[in-house]
Amino acid sequence: MKYHVIYDGNCNLCVPLVQQMENLDKGQQCDYIPMQDGNTLKEFGITPQDCEMGMILIDANQPERRWQGSEAIEEIASLLPMGNTLIDTYRSLPGMKWLGSSAYEQIRDNRYNWFGKRSSTYHSAYPVGCSAKE
């Protein structure tokens, strides 16, 4: 594993996006931790208040390297095939980074109202510590 993705396991928008990432990655580059897994988050020094600011991406080899919110989304996208090209283009367009960050904040703050809340927390097939078989 190279990265830990911390996502809202109760969010009807977040979970399908994580499932798509799982389908693409198959646990090769990322493992996935729901924000509701307080015990695991404590191991990374992450509080529930930290989670209120959105998705978190942690470099497993250098845990002090962390991204949150729209920056985490950008970093995750750069891991996908052709992702670097897409993110470089996005970042080069004037105002797009501000627009993307603003949109992320609105979605983060209204996700349950707009997309609904799951009745149970989604736990990934690729949890932290999982070793994916090639």
Tell me the whole-structure pTM to 2 decimals. Answer: 0.89
Q: What was the pLDDT predicted at 134?
A: 42
Output the pLDDT for position 18: 95
pLDDT at 129: 67
Which residues in the chain come in under a pLDDT of 50?
Answer: 133-134
Using the CB atoms, write b or e for 66-105: b if 16+ within 10 Å. bbbbbbbbbbbeebeeeeeeebeeeeeeeeeeeebeeebe
Query: What is the pLDDT at residue 57?
Result: 97
Q: How many CB atoms lie within 10 A of CB 17?
A: 15
Measured in whole angstroms, how far is the alpha carbon of residue 69 from the centre of its chain?
8
Q: What is the pLDDT of residue 118?
A: 97
pLDDT of res. 108: 97
Convert the pLDDT of each residue in 2-38 to its tens digit.
Answer: 999 999 999 999 999 999 999 988 889 999 999 999 9
Sequence-ordered list of residues with C-beta below 8 angstroms from that of 35, at least 6 positions apart, any chain: 6, 7, 8, 9, 41, 48, 51
CA distances from 76 to 18, 115, 125, 127 (A): 11, 22, 18, 17
